Amino acid sequence: MSSVKRAFKYRFYPSDAQAAELGRTFGCVRKVYNLALAARTGAWERQERVTYNVTSTMLTRWKKSEELAFLNEVSSVPLQQALRHLQTAFTHFFAQRAKYPRFKSRKKSRRSAEYTRSAFGFRDGRLTLAKMAEPLDIVWSRPLPEGAEPSTVTVSQDSAGRWFVAMLCEDPTVQPLPATDAAIGIDVGLYHLLTLSTGEKIANPRHGRRDHGRLARAQRSLSRKARGDGANRRKARRRVAKIHARIADCRRDSLHKLTTRLVRENQTIVIEDLSVCNMVKQRSLARAISDAAWAEFRSLLEYKAAWYGREVIAVDRFFPSSKLCSCCGTLQTKMLLHARTWTCNCGTTHDRDVNAAKNLLAAGRAVSACGADVRPQRRTPDGQSATKQEVSRREP
């Protein structure tokens, strides 16, 4: 297995001159991206084709114009990278993996710039970007892999005003873990974040709820400030952003620890293929579902499993894991959402979430062994077998 490329992210504290230079670079990157997107959108309407090479030629003309001469004041590499990112966005759009690219907003879009190897210097743990005389003051919270050389560097500033630098390096330490026979099914929830097929339940930290009072007060303070670019409104907006950043950091930290543990302990991990973007449309549960971060949990689990030679299986979201008896295979015709335990006709009393996790594990093993459309045999309470189509019709 070849070395895995990992991004190592660190916080840094720029000088006033460096902050000003990066601010100009962020603005120029956004300007070039929007100009190229406008040009490609116009060509799309005229049924003309504009590729990355064409927009690169446009960038050269824009730099020579009097109106856009300020583009020459920053490094040209982040501007070229912005055009490559736009090309990638269109590639995903034409492959129907994403929506049509949107224009970058000065207030809402992520402030970032990407530098390739020709636009930065890295020596003896000191990183110097193009157009800067002094290296960045980086807080090395963890070391880079021994002998690692960054191939790209991405500098960003979040809404809370914190500066970060992400270095993309090859990490030879990431190798497949020893194979094991352990397999586990995972049912996600709100009261318990995860319920495992072993019967273990992992509590939901509810990071958003813990800071809900502080966030509400900060947002009320922001709403009282006059709209515009006033200093008081900027300070209030920054306070709100810092609380959101704290919540996101705590949530991400707990998910990283949890997914790393699951990947290390199990060879096969079975989850449910939930459509989270549709579930958050239910207003009564949207806040709780967003705080649980099920989509982020799955994303972390999948890429770590790929790194360490594990397998993640996503079972069809219409599989009736909660209503199916894991002992006899009887399918309950109806089950209320608030019912956390239920008793099957065979006399087995089930914990709803543990039973669902066991059924997901059984379905995942069948998928792994026989194919994506295989499901465990299910029987209705009257003893009749039920096909996949029949089960789908019975589900609410």
Residues tagged active-site: 187, 272, 353
- Candidates 303, 354, 308; CA nearest to 194 is 354
Residue type for position 190:
L
Place of tokens 């299986």: 313
Return the closest-CA partner of residue 189 out of 360, 59, 385. 360
Tell me the longest C-alpha to C-alpha distance in the chain.
82
353 neighbors 195 (Cβ within 8 angstroms): yes
> Rounded to an integer, what distance in angstroms lies between the CA atom of residue 214 and that of residue 131?
41
Name the DSSP class of 70: G
The runs of H, that is alpha helices, within the chain are 16-45, 52-64, 76-94, 207-210, 212-224, 231-265, 276-279, 283-292, 294-307, 352-370, 388-394
Q: What separation in angstroms does the CA of 296 have from each of 137, 212, 258, 292, 300? A: 30, 21, 12, 9, 6
